[in-house]
């Protein structure tokens, strides 16, 4: 009997060890905890709620600009750059409640000053698929994020400019864009391309644009699924700019999945003037340089070379990057 009990204990230990190892692999390579939250809330009809400074949960539409600013939890700050987090949740039944209680959910806000950072498109030769962390390391970037969408073969969908030269062709009438003219970065609808004088130095075509002059486009609310999956709760990535030129990114973090209306409303409450979505969903990945080393977010597997459509690694051809400007030396001082 004692020998059987010993075998059962050993078997139980092996099972638990195997389960723990499987979980760790899932979390490391597939962002398992975050995706459990995402799956648990994807069919919810309830709005995304944000934890206010007072400890109450409110939809973004119910928060004032001051409320939202106060709700931001600072993660990192340096000259010209700030990274903050919003704690979020969504009601969706018992499974959703449990997943969010255990793993949490968050949305990140990154602001960058064009006075301190240069913006660019970054990619491998022949648009070989790559990752945000690889772009950061190879280009000495402070921030990198997925830009253009890609076709099933991995080619970028939409025009791309780099160092003043167009290196990829347009895709249809897609309405959003990132571009740099006269050294200044812009995010928003394609109409800005004609309104802002000068030649495109860096840029990429994305989709859809969602805001101009601090006004959300009507189709975001009225026809969100006519041209894009606007009501789908998914990983979202928005690039925008304030009136003073400050660049603002509103990004899904672990479990912080949103629909287009929600990510756009958060941007509007953050005083964004013009904005467009960048590639999101399982493809979303971004990297942020901090004092204690780079921090990376990947919505799904970017490393393991699975070929099955549900497991295949998510790598993209084109990224948007920000690099700290070299200090200007005048009279022997910065």
**pLDDT tens track for 277-333:** 999 999 999 999 998 889 999 999 999 999 888 899 999 999 999 999 987 665 655
Would you give the DSSP letter of residue 66? H
Burial 267-303 (b: 16+ CB within 10 A, else e): bbbbbbbbbbbbbbbbbbbbbbbeeeebeebbbbbbe
pLDDT of residue 16: 73
Q: Is the pLDDT of residue 161 over 80?
A: yes
Considering only residues 13 and 276, tell me which one the structure prediction assigns the higher pLDDT. Answer: 276
Residue tagged 């603002």 (tokens): 248
pLDDT of residue 329: 64
pLDDT above 90: percentage of residues in the chain: 84
Alpha carbon distance 77, 260 (integer Å): 27
Close Cβ partners of 279 (under 8 Å, ≥ 6 residues apart): 146, 147, 148, 149, 150, 206, 237, 316
Token pair belonging to 184? 């200044």
pLDDT of residue 14: 73
Query: Of 130, 149, 116, 112, which Cα lies nearest the Cα of 246?
Result: 112
Alpha carbon distance 58, 173 (integer Å): 36
pLDDT tens across 96-134, in order?
A: 999 999 999 999 999 999 999 999 999 999 999 999 999
Domain boundaries, the chain: 31-324
pLDDT of residue 8: 73
pLDDT tens across 210-252, in order?
A: 999 999 999 999 999 987 899 999 999 999 999 999 999 999 9
Mean pLDDT of 268-285: 97
Token pair belonging to 78? 């340096």
pTM of the model: 0.94
Q: Is the pLDDT of residue 78 over 90?
A: yes
Burial 201-237 (b: 16+ CB within 10 A, else e): bbbbbbbbbbbbeeebbebbeeebeeebebebbbbbb
């Amino acid at each position: 009997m004692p020998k059987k009990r010993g075998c059962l204990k050993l078997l139980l230990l092996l099972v638990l060890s195997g389960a723990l190892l499987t979980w760790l692999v899932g979390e490391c390579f597939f962002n398992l905890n975050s995706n459990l939250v995402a799956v648990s809330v994807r069919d919810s009809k309830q709005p995304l709620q944000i934890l206010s400074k007072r400890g109450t949960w409110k939809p973004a539409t119910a928060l004032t600009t001051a409320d939202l600013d106060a709700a931001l939890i600072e993660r990192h700050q340096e000259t010209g750059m700030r990274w903050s987090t919003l704690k979020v949740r969504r009601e969706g039944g018992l499974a959703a409640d449990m997943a969010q209680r255990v793993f949490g959910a968050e949305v990140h806000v990154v602001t960058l000053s064009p006075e301190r950072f240069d913006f660019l498109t970054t990619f491998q030769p022949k648009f070989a698929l790559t990752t945000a962390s690889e772009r950061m390391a190879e280009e000495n970037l402070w921030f990198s994020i997925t830009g253009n969408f890609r076709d099933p073969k991995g080619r970028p969908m939409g025009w791309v400019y780099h160092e003043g030269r167009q290196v990829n062709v347009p895709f249809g009438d897609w309405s959003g864009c990132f571009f740099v003219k006269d050294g200044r970065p812009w995010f928003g609808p394609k109409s800005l391309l004609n309104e802002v004088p000068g030649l495109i130095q860096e840029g990429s075509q994305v989709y859809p644009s969602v805001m101009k002059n601090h006004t959300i486009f009507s189709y975001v609310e009225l026809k969100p699924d006519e041209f894009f999956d606007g009501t789908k709760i998914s990983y979202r990535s928005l690039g925008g700019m304030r009136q003073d030129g400050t660049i603002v990114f509103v990004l899904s973090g672990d479990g912080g999945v949103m629909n287009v209306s929600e990510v756009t409303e958060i941007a509007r409450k953050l005083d964004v003037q013009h904005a467009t979505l960048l590639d999101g969903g399982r493809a979303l990945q971004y990297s942020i340089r901090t004092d204690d080393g780079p921090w990376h977010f990947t919505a799904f597997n970017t490393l393991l070379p699975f070929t099955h459509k549900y497991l295949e690694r998510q790598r993209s051809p084109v990224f948007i990057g920000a690099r700290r400007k070299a200090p200007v030396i005048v009279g022997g001082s910065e």
